[in-house]
Chain A
Amino acid sequence: QKEVEQNSGPLSVPEGAIASLNCTYSDRVSQSFFWYRQYSGKSPELIMSIYSNGDKEDGRFTAQLNKASQYVSLLIRDSQPSDSATYLCAVNTGGGATNKLIFGTGTLLAVQP
């Protein structure tokens, strides 16, 4: 079993719709979870971070965390063509103050105009 799993997609949604991206992880003691966006040929950039169970909203983006189910999700409201990219779920498995991000394989999102 991979440590962090995502559906590879592609996930195709029409402009203005809600895109829902999902991620599961295997390390029960992980405390920090991140969503990165990566455009083709570019490096990853952070979209959202979440550390506590529940929802965290930032503009059109909402991250949801359920530690009991070992599940993280990202909702993108009012999807725009510029949101078309690969979305990477990452879990910090380093422990303490250290950094060891384990990434899922990414979900390719295509927003159709």
Chain B
Amino acid sequence: KAGVTQTPRYLIKTRGQQVTLSCSPISGHRSVSWYQQTPGQGLQFLFEYFSETQRNKGNFPGRFSGRQFSNSRSEMNVSTLELGDSALYLCASSPGGSGRETQYFGPGTRLLVL
């Protein structure tokens, strides 16, 4: 099976712009989670989607949003970008039927906000 794919891999934006990141899960996986990784804060949970519904949410401002499509692909959007949004954004997928599942991570999208 193909792994989790994320596009784009690298992105440069300026403050105030918005950005949309895409994640395609492993075939058959219905749960997609998003994480932000920075040197200062480490890996932080953003949100989880399952069957097109947000199932869990982390402690991020409303500028961070996401959605999931019927084919389980997911997008996350960050509006009004701030310098502090520069980070590696990782998505992870799992089948979605149990809290004991392994989450498989994609390669990430590295976002730089200037």
Partners in one complex: yes
Chain A residues within CB distance 8 Å of chain B = 31-32, 34, 42-46, 49, 51, 88, 90, 92, 94-106
With A88-B43, A97-B96, A99-B56 as known contacts, state yes or no: A46 contacts B102, CB within 8 Å. yes
A98 near B99 with CB under 8 A, answer yes
Binds A, one of B14-22, B63-71, B103-111: B103-111
The distance from the CB of A1 to the nearest CB of chain B, in whole angstroms, is 15
Given A98-B50, A99-B31, A99-B56, also A92-B99 (CB < 8 A): yes
Q: Nearest Cβ distance between residue A104 and chain B, in whole angstroms?
A: 7
CB distance from A12 to the nearest CB of B (A): 21
CA distance A31 to B101 in the complex (A): 12
B48 at the interface (CB under 8 A from A): yes
Supply 6 further A-B pairs (C-beta < 8 A) apart from A32-B99, A94-B55, A101-B35.
A44-B43, A94-B56, A98-B99, A101-B45, A101-B103, A102-B45
Report the minimal beta-carbon distance from A61 to chain B, rounded to whole angstroms.
Answer: 14
Which 10 pairs, one residue from A and one from B, show the smallest C-beta to C-beta distance? A103-B43, A43-B105, A100-B56, A105-B42, A32-B100, A46-B102, A98-B55, A94-B56, A92-B99, A44-B105
- Minimum distance in angstroms from A87 CB to a CB of chain B: 12
Tell whether, in the assembled complex, residue A100 and residue B107 are in contact, meaning their CB atoms are under 8 Å apart: no
Tell me if B43 and A100 are in contact (CB < 8 A).
no
The closest CB in chain A to the CB of B40 belongs to A105
A43: chain B residues within 8 A (beta carbon)? 90, 105-108
Cα-based distance from A46 to B58 in the complex (angstroms): 22
Docked Cα-Cα span, A97 to B30, in Å, equals 12
Cβ of B74 under 8 Å from chain A: no
B99 proximity list for chain A (CB < 8 A): 31-32, 92, 94-99
CB pair B94–A103 under 8 Å, yes or no, is no
Residues of B within 8 A of A31 (CB): 99-100
With the chains together, A51 CA to B43 CA distance in Å?
22
Q: What's the minimum C-beta distance from A7 to chain B, rounded to whole angstroms?
A: 13
Chain B residues with CB under 8 Å of A94's CB are: 48, 55-56, 99
List chain B residues, Cβ under 8 A from A101: 33, 35, 43, 45, 92, 103
In B1-28, the 8 Å CB interface with A consists of: none
